[in-house]
């Protein structure tokens, strides 16, 4: 019954309106200035994201190897490893929620991106819930060639070249992707996309919506910064 209610809720427009409303209801926080509103939000967010993952840089090669091994295992063993893989995805998102979105910064002290913590924690809990209800069937069947269009993008975001057209293989071990939502999410979604209709749809919908929302936001911010630089 609970699963059916969640399934119905994630098909309603108001559910996603609530997720968007959290942008305004859960403001970012800085120990130097308190809760942030207005134009300072972008500055605090940028500052937190600049500093948050630096302490974990030494662990990135190990984290990359762990992610690669988990993905390889679920592709090879399917449902025999599926429950473990789903739990890993859920835990990964919970780590991302807190590690990527909290940092001690030079200008603002302790900075917290509150809405991201709520969003990413929700995603993590939805996938952890799937460990119990087992709505995802990791039986990978042969797909039409066109459905594999997601794979190159998944590899590219996991690789995450540091500079445009700098495809140094070392980034496959040193990029921030294992602890960065916007980089690891396309990798996980590509796997679930190839399982479509055999996957936990509420978890997939929420992950996809928040990922798309942040992707559009990042593109818009990048575009506006480019325009600003062009006219200064």
3-state secondary structure of 210: helix
What are the pLDDT digits (tens) for 212-231? 999 888 776 666 555 555 56
- Give the residue numbers spanning the domain of 150: 2-230
Round the CA-based radius of gyration of the chain to a whole number and report it: 18
Which neighbouring-strand residues pair with 102? 112
Which neighbouring-strand residues pair with 34? 30
Distance CA 208, CA 119 (A): 12
The confidence score (pLDDT) of residue 115 equals 95
What are the pLDDT digits (tens) for 163-215? 778 889 999 999 999 999 999 999 999 999 999 889 999 999 999 999 999 98
Q: What is the tally of structural domains in the chain?
A: 1
By C-alpha distance, which of 208, 213, 202 is closest to 12?
202
pLDDT of 232 > 70? The answer is no
The confidence score (pLDDT) of residue 171 equals 92
Residue 91 contacts by C-beta under 8 Å, 6 or more apart in sequence? Answer: 124, 128
Kindly report whether the global pTM for this prediction surpasses the value 0.85.
yes
The confidence score (pLDDT) of residue 182 equals 94
Mean pLDDT score, 9-18: 95
By C-alpha distance, which of 1, 4, 22 is closest to 201?
4
Query: Are the C-beta atoms of residues 174 and 60 closer than 8 Å to each other?
Result: yes
């Amino acid at each position: 019954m609970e699963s059916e209610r969640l399934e119905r809720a994630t098909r309603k427009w108001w559910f996603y309106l609530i997720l968007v409303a959290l942008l305004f209801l859960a403001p970012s926080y800085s120990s130097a200035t308190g809760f942030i509103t207005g134009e300072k939000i972008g500055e605090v967010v940028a500052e937190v994201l600049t500093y948050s993952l630096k302490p974990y840089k030494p662990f990135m090669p190990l984290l990359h190897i762990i992610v690669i091994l988990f993905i390889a295992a679920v592709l090879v063993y399917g449902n025999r490893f599926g429950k473990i893989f789903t739990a890993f995805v859920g835990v990964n998102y919970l780590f991302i929620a807190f590690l990527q979105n909290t940092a001690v910064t030079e200008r603002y002290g302790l900075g917290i991106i509150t809405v991201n913590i709520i969003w990413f924690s929700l995603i993590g809990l939805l996938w952890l819930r799937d460990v119990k209800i087992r709505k995802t069937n990791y039986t990978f069947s042969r797909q039409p060639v066109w459905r594999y269009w997601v794979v190159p993008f998944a590899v590219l975001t996991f690789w995450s070249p540091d500079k445009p057209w700098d495809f140094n293989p070392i980034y496959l071990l040193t990029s921030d992707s294992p602890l960065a939502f916007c980089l690891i999410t396309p990798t996980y979604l590509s796997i679930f996309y190839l399982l479509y209709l055999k996957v936990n749809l509420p978890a997939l919908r929420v992950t996809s919506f928040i990922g798309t929302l942040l992707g559009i936001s990042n593109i818009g911010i990048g575009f506006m910064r480019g325009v600003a630089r062009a006219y200064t």
